[in-house]
Amino acid sequence: MKLRIAVLPGDGIGPEISEQGVAVMNAVCEKFGHTVTYEYAICGADAIDKVGDPFPEETFQTCMRADAVLFSAVGDPRFDNDPTAKVRPEQGLLAMRKRLGLYANVRPVETFDCLIHKSPLKDELVRGADFICIRELTGGMYFGEKYQDNDKAWDTNYYSRPEIERILRVGYDYARRRRHHLTVVDKANILASSRLWRQVAQEMAPQYPDVTTDFMYVDTASMRMIQEPRFFDVMVTENTFGDILTDEGSCITGSMGLLPSASTGEHTPVFEPVHGSWPQAKGQNIANPLAQILSVAMLFEYFNLENEGRLIREAVAASLDANVRTPEIQVQEGPHFGTKEVGAWIVDYICKA
């Protein structure tokens, strides 16, 4: 298979973990006889510094020419600490999602037995947790009409029926491939937009008689994820709720550095870790590359290259079992491995498999 990949390293630790993701992709393609070419592009604070735009037109065109985008992270404290900034790195991420029509964000949450001790939750609660959160990505307050002055501000949480229907179909499709259980998360007791979500979901549920559909308020879901994470199979929710719940999900695994994601929709799909740019760690060779590497696994699986994705997951699990880990997930007094060393170990495992 021939793959053309747009690589967007972005800011902070992005270039470091991107390098490891590309190395793993090269190893897998060589192993399975695929041809891959890369085209690099700028985004985020890096793009603001260079051209004044966090998602410039040329980067968009690069993404459109590609079969898939391997994205890393954007963000810089220079902008975080300036509430008056008119241009921000994160606007580039939102622009990418909107212009590529990436309305479905798929974030798996899966535990590794050898890292259960890193979770702040009890072993008996998190062991075996395995669910997917599907977040609507191009609607809601993030993209609705906004206003701000010195005394008041508002954000409009707008959703239309077609937007809700298409993301629910994604949720049902994933549920059918897994354990046939879909949880629709909303705030229908308070929000009109959520009431439309629930109405549409109730109308669609009979079309999927093989899937058990239940409904849960977002506050209840946030508690249930901590109290009983094994309850969930696939959850689907709107943009803002999904952003919060998926970060909460990282606590279950013990590290946000383990969570990959896929964003799919109308045009080129994007594969990225769910963590941020961690600018304080830039250049220190301590960032965990596993979420980026697992995002590469999701990329292969998107193209129905299941064996390729499976080998990456096997290599990641083997690295963890061998205590080849970056500092934030290393066992006490365990050996030191940096970003590059973890990536190299996984590449070596793939080559020898």
Active site residues: 142, 187, 219, 243, 247
Q: What gap in Å lies between CA 305 and CA 247, rounded to an integer?
A: 28
Nearest Cα neighbor of 195 from 170, 164, 168, 219 is 164
Nearest Cα neighbor of 48 from 96, 7, 92 is 92
Q: In sequence order, which ranges of the chain are alpha helices (DSSP H)? A: 14-32, 44-51, 57-65, 77-80, 89-99, 123-126, 161-177, 192-204, 218-227, 239-253, 290-302, 306-321, 339-352
Element (H, E) at 145: none
Instruction: Label the pairing between strands 130-136 and 104-110.
Output: antiparallel
Nearest Cα neighbor of 232 from 254, 209, 255, 249 is 249
Q: What gap in Å lies between CA 18 and CA 339, rounded to an integer?
A: 10
Query: How many distinct helices (H) and strands (E) make up the chain?
Result: 13, 12
**Chain centre to alpha carbon of residue 150:** 34
